[in-house]
Structure 1
Amino acid sequence: MQTLVVERSEGVVTVVMSRPEKKNAADPTMWRELAETFTAVAANPDDRVLVLTGAGGDFCSGADLAGMSDDALAYMANAGEAARALHALAVPTIAKVDGVAVGAGWNLALGCDLVVATDRARFSQIFVRRALSVDMGGSWLLPKLVGIQKAKELAFFGDMLSAADAAALGLVTRIVSPAELDATVDSMATRLAHGPAQALSLTKQLLDAAAEGGSMELALRREGHAQANNINGVDAKEAKAAFLERRDAVFYRPAEIAGAEPASVG
């Protein structure tokens, strides 16, 4: 890896975008390495949670404009593959944000399930200031998260938002001090990694599918399919045994889940 640092510990995969001299602006190599890394996580049953962050006190300042080639369409296809691979992950994902998260960098963070930011983090759909339009899935994510009018305001003006401003819009899950960031995200990621992996994955799939539309009837059918998978799975049996034996359930068993096929909501 030329632009990323990838670390694994007890089911938690931490992906660090590491171009601190550019505030972790993404060049073509980083887009490719992000897509490859997300795809590898999807294929590894021992990877149960993904944390995405940046080196040097910033999350990501967007695309490195100096790294754009003359073939703009090919460049965007490369970047878009990273966004698609992140969105496709069935495991919980956490964006750990300090400093700037702007442009494509902010939309990478919004592509995660949870966003934990420091109180000094700053966010912007900065594209318009560069005479560019929204990318990295922002045109799809923003209206779903904040509604169409607020999405247009964010994209039309490209104003810089504080972490508190972003949280007020529902775009930040939790705000902490810089000193608390590592411990907070570590705690959240560890809880998720040691939780019932299939149930968490199916819950994510159910919520994502509902956010994309459909009826209550369709949601109920999906829920039934998902719950049947859970009831027949090893985690539900362990949860029941733990309840009857009055002990904590143990869901994190790397050796036992190796090679397991992920369940689907249908």
Structure 2
Amino acid sequence: MAGNWEDLGPRLASGAGMAALGIAMVWLGGPWFAALAALVSGLMVWELVRMTAPAQRKTALQLGILAGAAVLSARALPGLVALPLLMVPVVAGAVQLRQNRVLFGVFAAAILAAGFGLSLFRDTYGMVWLIWLVLVVIATDVAGYFAGRFIGGPKFWPRVSPKKTWSGTLGGWFAAMLIGLVFLSFTNAGPDLPWISMALSLASQMGDIAESALKRRMGVKDSSSLIPGHGGLFDRFDGLLGAALFMLLVAQLVYVPEVRF
């Protein structure tokens, strides 16, 4: 039984540290949050290359730096003009990598779009919705972790992610709905927020599953060993990546009211 919980201490400690840093940067916004988004994006691309082309370690560092610079530089450009700049690391990877170019391109494009989109979303709509996003992802992860450990039961998608259970999946949805109800009480988001929070939770879980599928295909356990108890940044932020892409899509389709303190 103890083996089921041996990673809980490091997981909670490193998670708390990342949460504190993330909340501080979200609060400050502007160049501070943009710098954090660029740093995380660059490190995730570095991890991605190390997984998909493990022999090209020098290329991994180069593409990671290029990705972070692209996300940060794109913030200085207006609207859609930034998109070609964001695709520079993707094209560079397609040229330099000797294997798994398509896998790299798909995941790298998602990372860059999410990193740039989140920093832009923070400045456009205020920090409240970004905090909502992060809390939904955290609640999904934490509730899924404990529901899966305590309740167990049938696996959600055993061929791709053997540890995930239906109890953990549903627990994550329920926790996300509660977060939506809390934010509904003090924002003007409208009555759809609880079910949108549940949809966001599902998107977060799909991001997690997508990264699990990538790791299984590449034959690795973790994207890296940067974070105690979590593996790499990609392991920690795969759910946030899926949720961010979903939120950015929703923001293009429905009205998102600005809420600022």
TM-score by length of 2: 0.29
Larger % of helix: which? 2
Larger % of strand: which? 1
Larger RCO, structures 1/2 (Cα 8 Å, 6+ apart): 2
TM-score by length of 1: 0.29
Larger Rg: 1
